[in-house]
Amino acid sequence: SNLIARSVPMGVVTGRHSRDLEMIFNHHDLVKTFKTLVCDNHLSHSKPHPEGILLGSKNLNLAPEKIYYIGDSVMDMKAAKS
């Protein structure tokens, strides 16, 4: 809530299909929290390819080196380093 109060732009890059993510986000009222949602069906390459992170940073109008990427898997960490 502190990030939201400070208007920090946030996004999600996920291996889930957008249909699944939207259902989860609608159920938990998170749709307005994130300014961009990058899902597997938006990409040509899956993680650890950096395409999703690069698209997310582009959608937030931020250079990739200016974002923090938080992940929960080895593939996320490899994508962040790419």
Residue pLDDT, tens place only, 19-34: 999 999 999 999 889 9
**What integer pLDDT is reported at residue 1 of this predicted model?**
76
Report d(CA 14, CA 41) in Å as an integer: 10
CA dihedral 65, 41, 77, 75 (to 10 degrees): -160
Report the run of H or E that residue 36 belongs to, with start and end: strand 36-38
Residues 55-78 pLDDT 10s: 999 999 999 999 999 999 999 999
Tokens of 5: 């109060």
Question: What global pTM score does this model have?
Answer: 0.88
**What integer pLDDT is reported at residue 12 of this predicted model?**
95
Positive or negative, the Cα torsion across 65, 70, 74, 76?
negative
**What integer pLDDT is reported at residue 48 of this predicted model?**
92
